[in-house]
Structure 1
């Protein structure tokens, strides 16, 4: 009874002015500073409770407004305590929005579920979020706008990344995504509709992000032949798809190189699962070596693509940069390193593998303006990435000068090395690819 009255009060306030309510509430939430956050904790929770109450209402616009308010709060704050108390309540209302809402409401609810899982962190709550959401997300993929499908795919990737307990659960989500990437014939015998460039690129990015959680020793190369072959076709210039698709496919290919699937040899199994027999092994190794040669050539061509007159220059620089890094990784075994300062307290986020780089790029896109806040305070991200301390902050002026001198020397050496590698690419010095 009490809950019903509380919902009624929330409905009255939202019905009077949805936009004004969420705007004022969101502003109030975002203006809370660490110094006064404790003082205003009751006000913060009261505002969040009002949004939850509004999710029970019949008007779709009211629920959409409430979702926007909750999204703003979850981006602006790392609400661990609130999620501990309200996780299942929030999850059930978000799922209800997916079941009965418009495509806009579904998109908002999917993002809200993803942020809920990221805030909850790895554990039983995240696992429950995944278990209850996957069936609904799978159904939501079959209809709706491209924007809605993209939201569903990204949500599916995030909740599986955080909540999956084993390979079987991860594989279920990977298969759902792959059906979007490479649709098969439907039951009536007709071809499935080919996804748009935006949906295809998003699906591949989500799939790659989730694939980073699988260790190489758990991968049977035979199961990935189709994936590698299809991704290779997407590296070809195709008027049906734009460069965003080739870039997404390139990241996935880089991951297969890192996992050792595209670098197999007859003398070693690269940590992958045992083959059924020697014949199977030789066939798979031969196939992967041929694919490595083919894909390496594609990577080189895309790293050197010219932007001449009449060429589509959108994402051209991003494409060349990515494929140059992949080419360098294939030839030299060096992964691009990223150092990202995330706070004034000398904390630096570092990536040193393709898996980490793919995870970083995906989570930065997904969290948007909330990435920095979560990188600073969310233990989940601390567990995923490498965190180091910038030791120069505590040095004297003389020591900082010496440190900068060393850094400049290192940067000069790296620039010289990059120039040599770029020159080698321009001259077409392709290292043998069948070794």
Structure 2
């Protein structure tokens, strides 16, 4: 079964932003001078608003701090705030952490989002490591109270972004992933309160966990942990909530893409006890093949599920399309391909890893996604995306500070990191092509 033409049409979203604005090379006329002056004045006004918002984070009134955080988020969505971060990095981070420690659920959500944007602006390096180190303890503390689903989801998204950008060692990423797992599966640990999570929290945690999984070399992880993860994700496919099903299905597809199922039947043995482990390996292999077949049956069922009473048709169609893609991947090894236009250039994904990263970042950035994709080199490196540059006037240029940060060593570090990760995913994808169906035939 080849790739479906209809699939390409369904998943190829188009966000086309024109780059046809002309740039005059003639001498500056008085009217143009007024326009340039107006642009400068507008930028100074925006900078002043951002500085005022930062000052307002010191206010005692919670509603004032919430309004200030919302203004900061809007500013980061509308422009990559390199110069502001260069000057006010520590102040912004510590005030946002203060809001997480003492604020209302709404304030915690806003502060969490602001910290995530701060990490995406700084890019990998010492500052990103500082964000992760400083943020982890208060985030863990805030997660212990599960009274508000939107707050928990925002904290999980923040932890995901700061770990993705600031985590230099696999152990740091595993630590954050384990925290997410404990939120939805408390019996695995005791550092979060064992309260039954809401569907929205489960969806957020699984999506965040899968996003961080895209950055890991799965062959270094504990097989028992992997097996528990797959069993739990499989159980989520039976839940009534379609958002949970989709998140769990994508997580399973990613695990299959990484090729880790074949590892479960291989135990590490020494020369003296290899004979004793032969029986265990055989039983393990049989268990894994049974789990394979169960997941395949679940995916087939969800790809053709009929709508139930009160079901939203949009959610049903999303589920069907997602699980049809997963089924095609499991049976034939073909990952879904997506394409969207940003600034006249195509942003493409060709693997589950890239698709999960793209969907997570689109959800996190919301209305700021297009601007970030156009101007943020961290995102360019992640997706190998090179947008066209759009200048509104001949005088609109990067400041000295922005130039230094725009080509900072952090960008080189992140590019090499993401290129390595993408290479690992492609190797796993090639290795796994058709692997699921072949393995079933070998039982």
Q: TM-score, normalised by structure 2?
A: 0.73
Alignment pair present for 1:55 and 2:54? no
The whole-number CA distance in structure 1 between the counterparts of 2:313 and 2:49 is 46
2:349 to 345, 348, 351: 351
Alpha-carbon distance between aligned partners in 1 of 2:38 and 2:312, rounded to the nearest angstrom: 51
1:174 is the counterpart of 2:177: yes
CA distance in 1, matches of 2:151, 2:308: 35
Alignment of 1:53-132 (within 5 A): 53-132=55-134
Shift of 1:254: 0.6
Q: Where does residue 305 of structure 1 map in the other structure?
A: 305
- State whether residues 264 and 285 of structure 2, in contact with CA within 8 Å, keep that contact through their aligned partners in structure 1: yes
User: In the alignment, which residue of structure 2 is the partner of 1:245?
Assistant: 244
Alignment of 1:178-327 (within 5 A): 178-184=181-187, 192-236=194-238, 238=239, 241-263=240-262, 275-276=268-269, 279=277, 282-307=282-307, 313=313, 315-327=315-327
Does the CA contact (< 8 Å) of 2:380 and 2:386 recur in 1?
no
Q: 1:251 to 1:42 in 2, by over 3 A?
A: same
Partners in 2 of 1:40 and 1:133 — Cα distance?
A: 33
CA shift digits 1:364-416 (9 cap, x unpaired):
010001000000110010111032689xxxxxxxxxxxxxxxxxxxxxxxxxx
- The separation in 1 between residues aligned to 2:165 and 2:202, in whole angstroms, is 23
Residue 401 of structure 1 corresponds to none
Segments ≥4 residues shifted beyond 4 Å: 33-41, 263-266, 280-284, 308-314
Q: Aligned-pair distance for 1:141?
A: 0.9
Query: How large is the RMSD of aligned CA atoms in angstroms?
Result: 2.6
Which stretch shifts more, 283-292 or 322-331? Answer: 283-292
Match of 1:360 among 355, 358, 362: 358
Gaps of 5+ in 1: 1-32, 391-429
- Stretches of structure 2 that go unaligned for 5 or more consecutive residues are 1-34, 389-436
Whole-angstrom CA distance in 1 between matches of 2:313 and 2:387:
39
Matches of residues 155-170 of structure 1 in structure 2 within 5 Å?
155-170=158-173
User: Which of these residues, 349, 369, 378, is aligned with residue 371 of structure 1?
Assistant: 369
1:393 corresponds to: none
Once the two structures are superposed, what CA deviation does each residue of 1:223-266 show, in whole Å capped at 9, x if it has no partner? 21111111111111x4xx41111111111101111011235597
Q: Which residue in 2 is equivalent to 1:383?
A: 381
Equivalent residue in structure 2 for 1:146, among 145, 149, 156: 149
Deviation at 1:282, TM superposition (A): 4.8
How far has the Cα of 1:216 moved from its partner?
Answer: 3.1
Distance 1:332 1:35 in 2: 59
Pick 1 or 2: higher relative contact order, CA cutoff 8 A, min separation 6: 2
C-alpha distance in structure 2 between counterparts of 1:293 and 1:107, whole Å? 40
TM-score (norm 1): 0.75
Per-residue deviation, residues 110-165 of structure 1 (Å, max 9, x unmatched): 11111111111111111111110011011111114111111111111111111100
1-structure distance, mates of 2:218, 2:173: 14
Cross-structure match for 2:12: none
Q: Distance in 1 between matches of 2:112 and 2:203?
A: 18
Taking the aligned partners of 2:371 and 2:172, their CA distance within structure 1 comes to 29
- Aligned-residue offset at 1:200: 0.8
Query: 2:201 aligns to what SS in structure 1?
Result: helix
In structure 2, what is the equivalent of residue 339 of structure 1? 339
Aligned residue-pair number: 350
| Distance verdict in 2 for CA 1:298–1:60, change over 3 Å | same
Q: Which whole-Å CA distance do the structure 2 matches of 1:216 and 1:324 have between them?
A: 25
Determine the structure 2 residue equivalent to 1:418.
none
Give how far 1:185 is off.
8.1
Give the distance between the partners of 1:382 and 1:180, measured in 2 at CA.
31
